Amino acid sequence: MIANADPMMPRVFRVRRKIRELRDVYTLLLEPPGNGEFSFAAGQFNMLYVFGVGEVPISMSGDPGQTQTLVHTVRSVGAVTRAISALKSGDALGVRGPFGSHWPLEKAAGRDVVIITGGLGLAPLRPAVHQLLAQRARFGKAALLYGARTPRDILYQRELERWRGRLDFQVEVTVDAAPGSWRGNVGVVTTLVPRASFDPATAIAFVCGPEVMMRFSVLELEKCGVSKERIFISMERNMKCAIGFCGHCQFGSAFLCKDGPILACDRVQTWFGKREI
């Protein structure tokens, strides 16, 4: 593991490969400096720095077990992410991290696991799925419920199909709208919750996606009988320093860069949906 005494100092990684996932979504496979290793816990994020342009927080989206490559999936929406998306093999990218809390798979040992995600929210959860499948026998039933805008917006489609082919992992996919040729589900991701196979009295749930999607998913899980302390969400707000100094990411009494981004619902229920914050 590469040690870095100064969390504000980026290390220079090199782009090994770039994959175009969707029209405006790219996955970068990055090589650690000196061909070293990079370890992280599923759910954590890095600050990615395009020299001369700026820095953004992006969750890791690769397998935590593969420490020789760092993987990030990025949507090209602003100046920095557009610059990241334009990088080519061999280009340099600054990396600070890893930061933040992780998906608590250790709490899920012996229990059923329900993963609800939508859009690009699957990217921060993919490391947790890798970990869960690598240690499958440790957990009860496992289900992944994924929603996308249209069939053309389904992220990691081949991987979803591969996961769906397993006999010990329930994968359900739905889209909000589809043409007549679509043979899959149409409806918001919350409509998949009643179909997921899990024991609501003991299951652990991981939810990641647009905030309003997460709020409705939490409501649906609670309706099924999953209590808030067993529902974990990934909150993303404006993160700048990533080490709890600047206060930009404050969410109620939590600093999302330090206390989050993964938080138990019972901790944030007071502020969830509050317009003022």
Partner 1 sequence: MSTEEFEAALSESPFFRGMEQRQTHELAMQAAEESFRAGEFIFHEGEDAQKFYIIQAGKVTLEVLVPDRGITVVQTISAGDVLGWSWLFPPHRWHFDSRAVEATRTLSIDADWLRQRIEGDHDFGYEMMKRIARVMVTRLQATRLQVTDVYRT
Residues 6+ apart with CB under 8 A from 54: 79, 80, 83
Residue 24 or 222: the one with the smaller Cβ distance to partner 1 is 24
* Cβ nearer to partner 1, comparing 60 with 173: 173
- Tokens 């700026």 belong to residue: 54
CA 223 to the chain's CA centroid = 24
Closest approach, Cβ 235 to partner 1, in A, equals: 15
**CA separation for the pair 82, 93 (Å, rounded):** 13
| Residue among 24 and 63 whose Cβ is closer to partner 1 | 24
The CA dihedral of 77, 124, 191, 268, to the nearest 10 degrees, is: -100
| Residues facing 251 on adjacent strands | 254
* Minimal distance, residue 219 CB to partner 1, in Å: 9
* Residue 244 burial (10 A CB sphere; 0-12, 13-18, 19+): middle
For partner 1, the closer of residues 48 and 175 by Cβ is 175
Minimum distance from residue 215 beta carbon to partner 1 (Å): 9
Cα–Cα distance between 227 and 187 in angstroms, integer? 25
Min separation Cβ 179 and partner 1, Å: 6
Q: How far, in Å, CA of 172 to CA of 193, rounded? A: 9
Instruction: Give me the least distance between CB of 116 and partner 1, in Å please.
Output: 13
Nearer to partner 1, 52 or 180 (CB): 180
Contact 256, 266 (CB under 8 A): no
Q: How far is the CB of 185 from partner 1 (least distance, A)?
A: 5
Say which amino acid occupies 166.
R
Which parts of this chain interact with partner 1 (CB under 8 A)? 24, 75, 77, 118-119, 147-149, 153, 174, 176-180, 182-188, 190-191, 195, 209-210, 212-213, 216
Question: How far does CA 85 lie from the centroid of its chain?
Answer: 18
Task: Say if CB 162 and CB 135 are below 8 A apart.
Answer: no
Residue closer to partner 1 by CB (options 29, 193) is 193
